[in-house]
Amino acid sequence: MFFVVLVGLLTPFILYAGNTGKITGAVTDKEMSNPLLGVNVIISEMSMGAATDDNGYFIILNVPAGLYDIRAEMIGYSAMTITNVRVSGDLTTNIKFALTPTVVEGEEIVVEAERKLIQMDKTDSRRTITSDDLKNMAVTSIEEAVAYTAGGVEDAGGSLHLRGGRASEIVYQFEGIQLNDPLTGNPNDSDIPIMAVAETNIITGGFGAEYGNAQSGVINVTGREGRNTFAGDIRYSTSNGVSETLTGENPHNFKATEFFLSGPILKNKAFFSVAGEVNEDYGYLPNQFSNLNNYTGKLSWNITDHMKLSFSGLYSHSNFNDGFSYSWSHQLSEDKLTEYIPSYLKVYDGEYGEIADGIMQDEEIPEFYSSWWSQDGIQTEDIDGDFVLDMYFEYEPYADWNGNGQWDEGEYFNDLDGNGGWTDSAFEIDYDASGQLITPDGDMVDEDENRNFILESESATDFWYGNGQLDTEDLNGNGVLDEGEDINGNNVLDSEDVDRNGRLTEFSMFDRLPLWDRMSKMWNIGFTHTLSDRTYYTLRIAQYSTMLESNIIERLNEDTDGDGILDIYWGTEPFEDIDGDSNWEPGEWYSDLNGNGAYDQNLDWDVDGDGDERNEDLNGNGILDNYNPDNSITGFDDPRDMFHDSNRNNYVDESERDWNGDGVIDDYD
The pLDDT tens digits of the residues spanning 452-501 come to 888 888 788 888 888 889 999 888 888 788 889 998 888 888 998 887 77
Each residue's pLDDT tens digit, 76-129: 888 899 888 988 888 888 999 999 888 666 566 666 666 665 565 565 677 888
Helices (H), strands (E): how many in the chain?
A: 4, 30
The structural domains of the chain, with segments of one domain joined by +, span 20-112, 125-223, 569-605
Q: What is the mean pLDDT of the chain?
A: 82
- Cβ pair 141, 258 in contact under 8 A: no
Helix %, strand %, coil % of the chain (to 5):
10, 35, 55
pLDDT of residue 650: 80
Coil, strand or helix at 662: coil
Which pLDDT belongs to residue 187? 64
Report the CATH architecture of 20-112: Sandwich (2.60)
Give me the DSSP letters along 262-290. EEEEETTTEEEEEEEEEEEE--SSTT--E
Q: Are strands 80-87 and 109-112 parallel, antiparallel or unpaired?
A: parallel
Q: Does pLDDT of 271 surpass 90? A: yes
Q: Confirm if 60 and 49 have CB atoms less than 8 A apart.
A: yes
pLDDT mean over 286-306: 91
What are the CA-CA distances from residue 669 to residues 40, 260, 414, 656, 665 (Å)? 71, 47, 73, 6, 6
Report the pLDDT value the prediction gives residue 214, as an integer from 0 to 100: 67
| Beta-sheet strand order (sheet of 389-393) | 389-393, 427-431, 437-438
Share of the chain above pLDDT 90, in %: 19
Q: What is the mean pLDDT of residues 150-170?
A: 73
pLDDT for the residue numbered 121: 57
| Sequential DSSP letters for 595-625 | -SSS--SS--EETTSSS------TTSSSS--
First to last CA, the chain: 20
Tell me what the mean pLDDT of segment 531-548 comes to. Answer: 87
Highest mean pLDDT among 67-71, 144-148, 250-254, 551-555: 67-71
pLDDT of residue 541: 92
Local structure of 133: helix, strand or coil? helix
d(CA 593, CA 600): 9
* 157-184 mean pLDDT: 75
Q: Are 130 and 137 contacting, i.e. CB atoms less than 8 angstroms apart?
A: no
CA atoms of 543 and 216, how far apart (whole Å): 25
pLDDT tens digits, residue range 316-372?
999 888 888 877 777 888 888 888 888 878 878 887 766 777 778 778 887 777 777
Q: What's the CA gap between 611 and 564, in Å, rounded?
A: 15
Q: What is the pLDDT of residue 12?
A: 47
pLDDT of 272 above 90: yes
Reported as a pLDDT band with limits 50, 70 and 90, residue 13 is very low
The SS3 assignment for 369 reads: helix
Average pLDDT (53-70) is: 90
> Range with the lowest mean pLDDT among 76-80, 162-166, 380-384, 514-518?
162-166
pLDDT of residue 506: 85
**375-432 tens-digit pLDDT:** 777 788 888 888 898 989 999 999 999 999 999 999 999 998 888 999 999 999 898 8
More confident: 122 or 527: 527
Q: What is the arithmetic mean of pLDDT over 13-39?
A: 81
* Topology given in CATH for the domain delimited by 125-223: Ferric Hydroxamate Uptake Protein; Chain A, domain 1 (2.170.130)
Task: Report long-range pairs for 590-594 (Cβ below 8 Å, ≥24 apart).
Answer: 591/659, 591/660, 592/660, 592/661
Instruction: Out of 90-99, 151-160, 462-471, 573-582, pick the least confident.
Output: 151-160
What pLDDT, on a 0 to 100 scale, did the predictor assign at position 161?
Answer: 74
**Looking at residues 642-660, what average pLDDT do you find?**
82
pLDDT in tens, 613-647: 888 888 888 889 887 777 777 777 788 888 888 88
pLDDT given at position 246: 65
**With contact defined as beta carbons under 8 Å apart, do 56 and 36 qualify?**
yes
Q: Per-residue confidence at 505, pLDDT binned at 50, 70, 90?
A: confident
Q: What is the pLDDT of residues 205-226, one digit of tens each?
A: 766 666 666 677 788 888 899 9
Residue 286 burial (10 A CB sphere; 0-12, 13-18, 19+)? middle
Instruction: Provide the b/e sequence for 447-469 (b: ≥16 CB within 10 Å).
Output: bbeeeeeebbbbbebbbbbbeee
How much is the pLDDT for 244?
64
The pLDDT of residue 111: 67
| φ/ψ of residue 605, rounded to 5 | -115, 110
Q: CB burial class (10 A; 0-12, 13-18, 19+) of residue 475? A: exposed
Rounded CA separation 620/654 (Å): 6
Residue 407: per-residue pLDDT: 92
